């Protein structure tokens, strides 16, 4: 049987949820009036201010935070690492399950990315793993990642920096509003079209250090101040056109969150009948969901993926398999959850020692999730998924 989901969207697992041309138009008219197109224009500045005001509503606290726009989530990571002094001879600890942007940003600055196993419950690099790794080797920075948009504990990471002196850069690519900010260190967001807060291409860096904002701007503008090069840098400035889309996206942000929450609750409720064969991670229910990931009983995944696809439903494996299996990263130093460096280059040894990453690879898959699907689509997909699982379970 093939699932009866809207044909336009069949076989897609993610569809960007962007503002319409009409919603962006008033901001484009402002660009026409301002005659300012890039280089820290009025729309970029308005977006940065309004964005932080919106986040302060979600995380009321005494510490004020400041945001600087960049061209992408990758550049948010790259600029922050540069400002943390990361370069040749430095080591940065990164979870092995994440997007390639994380180690690439480190490598492209001439530094070494160390891939570590993740915590089996939270699916990410925790302060405990970082402490264990820091006891084995000198680390110059740690990059915890909000996997699938799930927040990491900023207070615990602040405490880690105070205790060890090692700076933190949280890659909160998709975790906008659910991730709280750091008193010490940076939080990076991606505004890629596929993220819940999509602008097309874009990124943000958030810091409690107001003085850092001018340094971020300098770094995103070829390291220059008044056309004189003061430091290393890149061209990573957000244009006024992207800021126009970002302002329009901010106007509809409450709607974006509400629609995603509605769909997550349908999936969560329907997938209850698949328990204990499958479940949605608790952390996803607290996030503005970007990728709807489901954990399934060990041993079922390859057949399940094939059966679901055969029924006309797209599946995906976002951030999987782990980066340790990607040819470009195969030579990187790896460590287990106890900080122990895995000495052999054999992939089978890495799989065995990085067993939480391996478990995720063997048990986690994604289902279609985009606001344009109807509630009935979400119900149909969930029910087909549950029926398929039960059928497979009884036949094994
Ligand atoms: C975890 C993570 N980090 C970084 C990035 C890079 O963001 P961008 O595509 O905006 O450069 C992504 C993009 O998908 C991501 O998922």
Q: Output the DSSP codes for 335-346.
A: E-TT--B--S--
Is residue 43 a contact partner of residue 247, using CB atoms and an 8 Å limit?
A: yes
- Report the distance separating Cα 98 and Cα 110, nearest Å: 20
Q: Which ligand 1 atom is at minimum distance from the Cα of 190?
A: 10
> Whose structure tokens read 């405990």?
128
Neighbour-count burial of 359, counting CB atoms closer than 10 A to its CB (0-12 exposed, 13-18 middle, 19+ buried):
middle
- Report the distance separating Cα 301 and Cα 388, nearest Å: 12
Mean pLDDT, residues 225-245 taken together: 97
Mean pLDDT, residues 236-256 taken together: 98
Ligand 1 center to residue 77 CA distance, Å? 9
At residue 88, the pLDDT reads 98
Give the three-class secondary structure for 243: helix
Ligand 1 center to residue 73 CA distance, Å? 5
Copy the structure tokens of residue 304.
């399940």
pLDDT in tens, 120-131: 999 999 999 999
Mean pLDDT, residues 302-315 taken together: 93
> Whose structure tokens read 């250090």?
209
At residue 60, the pLDDT reads 83
Mean pLDDT, residues 73-85 taken together: 98
Ligand 1 center to residue 74 CA distance, Å? 6
Give the three-class secondary structure for 231: coil
Nearest CA to ligand 1 atom 10: 73
At residue 191, the pLDDT reads 98
Pocket test for ligand 1, best of 78, 192, 193, 318 (most atoms within 8 A of CB): 192
The DSSP element (H or E) to which 278 belongs, if any, is strand 278-280
pLDDT in tens, 192-215: 999 999 999 999 999 999 999 999
CA atoms within 13 A on the CB side of 95: 30
Fold matches, 21-251 and 253-395: no
Ligand 1 center to residue 388 CA distance, Å? 32
* pLDDT above 90: percentage of residues in the chain: 91
Grade residue 2 by pLDDT with cuts at 50, 70 and 90: low
* Whole-number Cα distances in Å, 30 to 18, 37, 38, 39, 260: 19, 10, 13, 16, 30
Which of 2-6, 149-153, 272-276 comes out lowest in average pLDDT? 2-6
At residue 143, the pLDDT reads 98
Ligand 1 center to residue 58 CA distance, Å? 23
pTM greater than the 0.85 cutoff: yes
- What's the full length of the chain, in residues? 396
CATH 3.30.2350.10 fits 253-395, yes or no: no
At residue 3, the pLDDT reads 60
Higher pLDDT, 364 or 61: 364
Nearest CA to ligand 1 atom 14: 99
Neighbour-count burial of 89, counting CB atoms closer than 10 A to its CB (0-12 exposed, 13-18 middle, 19+ buried):
exposed
Topology, domain 21-251: 3.40.640
How is the chain split into domains, by residue range? 21-251, 253-395
Mean of the per-residue pLDDT values of the chain: 95
Closest residue by Cα to residue 202 from 255, 244, 149, 152: 244
Pocket test for ligand 1, best of 16, 99, 150, 238 (most atoms within 8 A of CB): 99
Pocket of ligand 1 (CB under 6 A): 72-74, 98-99, 101-102, 145, 171, 173, 190, 192, 203
Closest residue by Cα to residue 179 from 199, 206, 203: 206
Mean pLDDT, residues 84-112 taken together: 98
Task: State yes or no: pLDDT of 8 exceeds 70.
Answer: no
Residues facing residue 229 across a β-bridge: 224
The DSSP element (H or E) to which 69 belongs, if any, is strand 66-70
Copy the structure tokens of residue 310.
């055969």
pLDDT in tens, 101-125: 999 999 999 999 999 999 999 999 9
Closest residue by Cα to residue 386 from 263, 262, 266: 266
Nearest-Å Rg of the Cα atoms of the chain is: 21
Residues facing residue 257 across a β-bridge: none
- Report the distance separating Cα 334 and Cα 348, nearest Å: 13
Nearest CA to ligand 1 atom 8: 73
Ligand 1 center to residue 151 CA distance, Å? 15
Ramachandran angles phi, psi of 4, nearest 5°: -90, 75
At residue 395, the pLDDT reads 75
- Report the distance separating Cα 372 and Cα 16, nearest Å: 9
Q: Which ligand 1 atom is at minimum distance from the Cα of 145?
A: 1
């Amino acid at each position: 049987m093939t699932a009866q989901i809207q044909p336009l969207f069949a076989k897609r697992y993610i569809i960007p949820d962007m503002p319409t041309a009409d919603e962006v138009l008033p901001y484009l008219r402002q660009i026409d009036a301002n005659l300012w197109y890039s280089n820290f224009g009025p729309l970029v500045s308005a977006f940065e201010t309004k964005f932080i005001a919106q986040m302060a509503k979600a995380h009321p606290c005494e510490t004020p935070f400041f945001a600087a726009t960049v061209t992408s989530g990758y550049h948010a990571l790259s600029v922050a690492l540069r400002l943390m002094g990361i370069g040749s001879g430095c080591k940065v600890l990164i979870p092995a399950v994440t997007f390639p942007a994380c180690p690439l940003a480190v490598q492209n600055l001439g530094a070494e990315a160390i891939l570590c196993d993740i915590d089996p419950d939270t699916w990410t690099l925790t302060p405990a793993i970082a402490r264990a790794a820091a006891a084995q080797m000198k680390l110059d920075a740690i990059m915890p990642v909000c996997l699938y948009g799930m927040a990491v504990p900023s207070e615990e990471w602040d405490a880690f920096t105070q205790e060890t002196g090692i700076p933190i850069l949280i890659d909160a690519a998709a975790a906008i509003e659910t991730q709280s900010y750091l008193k010490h260190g940076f939080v990076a967001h991606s505004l890629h079209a596929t993220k819940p807060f999509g602008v097309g291409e874009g990124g943000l860096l958030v810091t409690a250090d107001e003085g850092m904002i001018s340094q971020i701007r300098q770094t995103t503008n070829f390291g220059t101040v008044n056309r004189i090069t003061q430091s290393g840098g890149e061209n990573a400035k957000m244009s006024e056109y992207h800021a126009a889309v970002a302002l329009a996206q901010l106007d509809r942000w409450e709607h974006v969150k509400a629609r995603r929450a509605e769909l997550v609750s349908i999936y969560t409720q329907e997938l209850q009948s698949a328990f204990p064969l499958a479940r949605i991670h608790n952390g996803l229910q607290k996030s503005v969901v970007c990728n709807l990931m489901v954990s399934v009983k060990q041993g079922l995944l390859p057949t399940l993926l094939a059966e679901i696809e055969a029924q006309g439903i797209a599946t995906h494996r976002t951030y999987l398999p782990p980066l340790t299996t990607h040819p470009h990263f195969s030579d990187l130093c790896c460590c287990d959850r106890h900080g122990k460096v895995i000495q052999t280059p054999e992939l089978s040894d890495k799989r065995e020692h990085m067993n939480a990453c391996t478990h995720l690879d063997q048990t986690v898959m994604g289902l279609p999730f985009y606001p344009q699907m109807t509630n009935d689509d979400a119900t149909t997909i969930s029910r087909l998924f549950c029926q398929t699982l039960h059928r497979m379970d009884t036949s094994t």
